[in-house]
Structure 1
């Protein structure tokens, strides 16, 4: 998924020559990059002991303004919070808007409608992409148009911007098209417009596959030996991910002690955690042994298995906790950058297939709702393996290899 940092919140900088200043960065759509801003005011006359207190006031003031939607290039527009805000890796920000901005109001209405209709992760995808679209409309002079005045010509210009300026790959551009088209389909259904302007959209030619790659046996052993020695919780999380094939952001981190049933060899993925519905995955004997050795079932049944302090507890870890830790350990071990924490799921699925599991068994463990989804998953991550190709060894190779 395409991501863009929108704001780097203020922080104090010591330039090592006695000069102090507060620095922050904001993404400016007209330059298509993070622009740097610095505040020097008041630091020159301070002694070193006073710097931290002065910086704290400036940082607090700027942080509040940035989170409310203010940007250094903004005028005195009225600020308010609505659903057209962008969640990113640094902060959650709003956006300034004039009261008469009809486009923003209806975009927000659509997001409110989708909020109860999709998972949190899907909602955040809708929110970030629609916010970028609305930001582009404002920056290009279309922000004060009526909803019905957003023509196919304007929509096409936006997609040309995504392809030529942002240089997004074909899959990401297609996702933008599907999402924005669904929003205008909603406006059409609610009779806010008379036709959907999202049609005959240019297609990007660049194809980039950023899917996490399965981990080789050698690298898997190297990684597991390291975390077993240095991070017990990461070892448990890695093997849960490997054996249960869970989605790490929601299903894994929100699993509770009560969701483990060793008698039935079952792990329950609760309704509000799963992407689609309640499901049950099978616990292999090797994972059961790990659960018993880690004494996980001795904790309160309502505790999250992956608690904030390295053991089951009432507060779970953050959404990207394991992803960040995996990258740190991956880099320490000098493993491929194509690996991510999600790679553990793909690695487990691949080994399950090689063990002789049927497509139906793999589909159930993955939590897919159709054979088509599982077939697509297998082809994408493992390709089409032919034993005839694997065993190919022509006679003329004898004595050479």
Structure 2
């Protein structure tokens, strides 16, 4: 025998809601009718009744059949009649049909991350993994442009998963209007492709295929090189600097020329502690790449360092201090540019000649001297020999004496 509580629990699974306390009149209903098909236990017996649906606000035909597991006809009949009496009692007391009872509520959809949110996460990842602020700056600039595009097109609430190839094409058009130089255009479009591909990878997947996968890159165009100096120009410039005894400028040029270092941060922000007996450490915070470079100090440079007694200074000092000697404050970004420009102007050297040109001049001289290309790769700080090959090819117009002498 079932207790009243057992019966109530089982009916609750059938969405029958008990009457409210204080309810005087039951809502419309119709008592149970048993369909037993001449007591044939091979068929499904049913209790049919009508009950008030509180959602549709009308009587609804309902069935109850949780006794068909009993195979004996007499026992099934007794069970069915027991349920019939109980359901009728519930109907008379005002029980109603509530379709919501017993149904598991649908899980709330998980909000898909917004494009702007994912952009910030992408930036945070790059900032924590890149070796230098200079490298991170490239990604930050890309982020600023994408944010401007998002705002101007009112895409602030766009989820990353909802980004379409059409939106990516619109961003490409935006970049083409923003920049004219092919190299800049290519870099910016590549940044977009890299960003959207980041969210196609396992673990952070927003889509199976990046919506930017088919973005067409602008054809690559080699940038114009800083003009290298001729042998005569080198001789004239060095002679004039020595006459003026501007040894700080000479030392700066030597680091660019002999170590193939970039004048911006690699040389300007060099510290005394970076100098080794026969090499100099150029760390990721200053180098263009995320690795430490350690170019060799050729004799002329090493001798000039010793002549100026740089190593005896405070290790934390910048080699090129703002008072004309090693100090705690480095020279400004354009300091040596102006000093170098005055030398060129005095000698009447005009054209695309810059301090950076000494890097190419040094490479050309080393190539002409027959120094092993692999050693030149290390001196330049190139992580791949392929980069050295490309660089050598670009310098070939200035460096190939063999073609000049033999191709007659």
Q: Which range, TM-score by smaller chain?
A: 0.5 to 0.7
Higher relative contact order (CA 8 A, sep 6+): 2
Deviation at 1:176, TM superposition (A): 1.6
Does residue 233 (structure 1) correspond to residue 248 (structure 2)? The answer is: yes
**Runs of 4+ displaced beyond 6 Å:** none
Deviation at 1:378, TM superposition (A): 0.8
Conservation of the 8 A alpha-carbon contact between 2:257 and 2:359: yes
Deviation at 1:365, TM superposition (A): 1.2
Residue in structure 2 matched with residue 258 of structure 1 by the alignment: 273
SS of match in other structure, 1:316: coil
Note the 1:66-215 alignment, pairs <5 A.
102-118=114-130, 119-163=132-176, 166-169=179-182, 171-189=183-201, 190-205=204-219, 207=221, 209-215=223-229
Unpaired runs of at least 5, structure 1: 1-100, 395-401
Query: Which TM-score applies when normalising by structure 2?
Result: 0.62
Conservation of the 8 A alpha-carbon contact between 1:130 and 1:180: no
Residue in structure 1 matched with residue 304 of structure 2 by the alignment: 290
Note the 1:340-351 alignment, pairs <5 A.
340-351=354-365
- Mark the CA change 1:349 to 1:393 in structure 2 (over 3 Å): closer, same or farther: closer
Residue in structure 1 matched with residue 313 of structure 2 by the alignment: 299
Residue in structure 2 matched with residue 315 of structure 1 by the alignment: 329
Conservation of the 8 A alpha-carbon contact between 1:102 and 1:147: yes
Query: Which TM-score applies when normalising by structure 1?
Result: 0.63
Flag the structure with larger Rg: 2
Deviation at 1:221, TM superposition (A): 3.4
Deviation at 1:351, TM superposition (A): 0.6
The range that moved more, 313-322 or 302-311, is 313-322
Residue in structure 1 matched with residue 367 of structure 2 by the alignment: 353
Deviation at 1:179, TM superposition (A): 1.7
Does residue 391 (structure 1) correspond to residue 384 (structure 2)? The answer is: no
SS of match in other structure, 2:390: helix
Deviation at 1:167, TM superposition (A): 2.1
- Distance in 1 between the 2:200 and 2:387 partners? 30
- Distance in 1 between the 2:401 and 2:338 partners? 38
Higher strand share: 1
- Mark the CA change 1:344 to 1:386 in structure 2 (over 3 Å): closer, same or farther: closer
- Distance in 1 between the 2:342 and 2:122 partners? 39
- Distance in 1 between the 2:118 and 2:346 partners? 48
Question: CA offsets per residue over residues 261-302 of structure 1, 9 Å max, x none?
Answer: 34xx22233454442433432212111221122221231122
Conservation of the 8 A alpha-carbon contact between 1:308 and 1:316: yes
Question: CA offsets per residue over residues 95-152 of structure 1, 9 Å max, x none?
Answer: xxxxxx9433332221111012223222111211231232133223434433333321
- Distance in 1 between the 2:328 and 2:407 partners? 58
After superposition, the CA RMSD in angstroms is 3.0
Size of the aligned set, in residue pairs, is 291
Unpaired runs of at least 5, structure 2: 1-112
- Distance in 1 between the 2:118 and 2:330 partners? 35
Deviation at 1:307, TM superposition (A): 1.7
SS of match in other structure, 2:281: strand
SS of match in other structure, 1:198: coil
- Distance in 2 between the 1:379 and 1:116 partners? 36
SS of match in other structure, 1:104: helix
- Mark the CA change 1:289 to 1:206 in structure 2 (over 3 Å): closer, same or farther: closer
